[in-house]
Homo-oligomer: A and B are copies of this chain.
């Protein structure tokens, strides 16, 4: 019979990221019901914290859907997409494709603007597409978890605004780790998850809707995701569903930790550890899929060298070192590893232990690497990159 886990996996995959002891402890605070005055005070506080981490404009409604990031996605789409709406979807990976698919499920006519997997979307190409076809709504992925690419959402959103299109942004792998700016983007909805940059367990999906989106009558056919009912619960205490107390506690504590660290310091920490990892990988002769300047700090897409059995490396890391990393998705299956340094997991320790373990796994397959080259380079980078 399976039992609960008793050893800590080092979670360096595409998420969930490691949960800090502080957030872990918050899970066990005593239960409160979904309508308890003390719970509502926690939710009020959380709305404010989410407004700030999303950098939402005044009048926005920021809250957390009772589900995972995919629930956040469906909440955003089902409240903004109406049958027949024309959506221009930037598809540069698995999650851009998922977003386009969900728009189709909700009745949109979707034009896909395809971007090579591993490259950032080009605002010029996007502008040409919108000039040619127009769009009622555009879908953008800020941090494409399948390719490790950061997309220029600021520029893309500016193009969308010029065409009067509404905007949905997926910030699942960026919130709390890369600058997210819902207000500057003019996004109607931005959604994320709890278990990556924010450092909480999964199960709540932060979402923000702009005042304009709400004023224009955002609402969903889905009962569970209807923003009108969710807002009435979060702001007017009208019963809708029984929010999970331990998940609220964990996310509240994680958001408190984000604010104590400070957004700028947190972004810098994620950038620093990504840079150190990239230096170490480079010294081991390994390459990242995206070119420099298009790379996420949270999720590193590492190209699998020729002749290496990528699944065997992942298995080796898991069984020998208790380290989880992710596999490639779709056309990148077998071609990349996805190495996450997010939230509490974005640390110097993570970088060094991963590089050491990877070196061992690669040597096991006869890959030529100078012992210690990766960790030495990463250590140098950590000492210099602020």
Contact string against B for A residues 2-32, beta-carbon threshold 8 Å, 1 for contact and 0 otherwise: 1011111101010110110000111111111
Q: Which residue of B lies closest to A67 (CB)?
A: B67
Query: Can you list 20 A-B contacts with CB-CB less than 8 angstroms, sorted by A residue number?
Result: A4-B42, A8-B31, A9-B30, A9-B33, A24-B28, A66-B71, A67-B224, A69-B241, A69-B242, A74-B222, A74-B223, A105-B221, A105-B223, A193-B242, A201-B245, A201-B247, A202-B242, A202-B244, A246-B247, A246-B250
Asked if A365 CB lies within 8 Å of chain B CBs, one says: no
Does B224 contact A74, Cβ atoms closer than 8 Å? yes
Does B28 contact A253, Cβ atoms closer than 8 Å? no
Q: How many residues of A are counted as interface, with CB atoms below 8 angstroms from the partner's CB atoms? A: 70
Cross-chain contact of A27 among B28, B225, B239 (Cβ < 8 A): B28
Which residues on B sit within 8 Å (CB–CB) of A1? 45
Which residues on B sit within 8 Å (CB–CB) of A19? 31
Which residues on B sit within 8 Å (CB–CB) of A24? 28
Q: Which residue of B lies closest to A240 (CB)?
A: B70
Which residues on B sit within 8 Å (CB–CB) of A16? 31, 33-34, 242, 245
A165-207 at interface with B (beta carbon < 8 Å): 193, 195, 201-203
A contacts, CB < 8 Å to B: 1-2, 4-9, 11, 13, 15-16, 18-19, 24-34, 36, 38, 41-42, 44-45, 66-71, 73-74, 78, 98, 101-102, 105-106, 193, 195, 201-203, 221-225, 239-247, 249-250, 252-253, 324, 329
CB distance from A171 to the nearest CB of B (A): 15
